[in-house]
C-alpha cells in the first residue's frame, strides 16, 4: 500500500478524472494542472520528480499517456499508477467513443464543423502551457530556451521531423551547451 490515505487516493483519482475531460489534444495538455495539483498544492512530489517523470515517459516507447502512470507511481507506487491511469483514461475514452460515433453521423452539420475547428487553437494553447511548465526548471539557461524556441520554429514552420531537434538537443546537452 502507498503512503497516501484512502481519501488522498480518492482525491487523486477524482482530480485525474476531471483532467481527463479537459485533455483535448492528449493528456499532456493537462500537465500544467497536474503539476499544480501534485507539486504545488499537495507537495506529493517535487518539481524535479515531475519533470523527470514526464521526460522519462515521453522518451520511452509506447503511448504518450504513460507519463500519467509515471507521475502516479512517484506519488503512491503501483496503486498511484493505477489510480491516475484509470482517472485519466475512463472519462475521455468513453466520451471520445460516444462523440466519434455521434459526430460521424453528423459530420456535415455546422455545429460539428465549428466544434472541430475550435479545438485546434485550444489544443495549441494547452500545449504551449505544458511547454512553459516543463521548461520552468531551466528558464535561467538561455541556451536551452533558445533551443526550445528554435525547435518550435523549425517544427512549426517546416517539414523537418521533431526527432532531428531531439537529436540536436541531445548533442547540445552532451557537449555542455545547455
C-alpha closest to that of 147 among 107, 115, 126, 174: 174
- Judge contact between 90 and 20, C-beta under 8 A: yes
Say which range, 3-12, 59-68, 69-78, has the weakest mean pLDDT: 59-68
Cα distances (Å, whole numbers) of residue 130 to 25, 100, 101? 11, 26, 30
For the whole model, what pTM was predicted? 0.65
For residue 96, how far is the Cα from the chain centroid? 18
pLDDT of residue 160: 81
Distance CA 108, CA 85 (A): 34
> Residue 159: what are its φ and ψ, rounded to 5°?
-105, 10
Entry field: residues in the chain: 178
Residue 126 pLDDT level (bands cut at 50, 70, 90): confident
Q: Which three cell numbers stand for residue 174?
A: 552532451
Please classify residue 31 by burial: count the beta carbons closer than 10 Å to its beta carbon, then call 0-12 exposed, 13-18 middle and 19+ buried.
buried
- Judge contact between 91 and 174, C-beta under 8 A: no
pLDDT higher at 109 or 136: 109
Distance CA 168, CA 144 (A): 11
pLDDT of residue 2: 61
pLDDT higher at 1 or 49: 49
| 97-101, 128-132, 165-169, range with greatest mean pLDDT | 97-101
Mean pLDDT in the chain? Answer: 88
Distance CA 174, CA 177 (A): 8
DSSP type of residue 43: -
Amino acid at each position: 500500500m502507498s503512503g497516501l490515505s484512502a481519501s488522498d487516493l480518492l482525491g487523486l483519482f477524482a482530480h485525474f478524472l476531471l483532467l481527463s475531460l479537459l485533455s483535448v489534444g492528449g493528456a499532456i495538455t493537462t500537465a500544467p494542472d497536474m503539476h499544480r495539483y501534485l507539486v504545488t498544492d499537495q507537495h506529493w512530489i517535487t518539481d524535479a520528480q515531475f519533470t523527470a517523470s514526464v521526460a522519462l515517459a515521453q522518451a520511452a516507447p509506447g503511448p504518450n499517456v504513460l507519463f500519467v502512470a509515471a507521475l502516479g507511481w512517484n506519488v503512491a507506487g503501483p496503486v498511484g499508477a493505477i489510480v491516475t491511469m484509470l482517472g485519466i483514461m475512463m472519462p475521455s475514452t468513453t466520451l471520445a467513443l460516444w462523440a466519434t460515433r455521434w459526430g460521424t453521423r453528423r459530420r456535415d452539420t455546422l455545429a460539428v464543423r465549428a466544434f472541430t475547428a475550435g479545438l485546434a487553437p485550444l489544443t495549441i494553447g494547452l500545449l504551449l502551457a505544458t511547454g512553459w511548465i516543463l521548461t520552468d526548471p531551466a528558464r535561467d539557461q538561455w541556451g536551452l530556451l533558445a533551443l526550445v524556441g528554435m525547435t518550435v520554429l523549425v517544427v512549426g514552420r517546416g517539414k523537418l521531423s521533431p526527432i532531428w531537434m531531439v537529436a540536436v538537443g541531445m548533442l547540445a546537452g552532451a557537449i555542455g551547451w545547455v
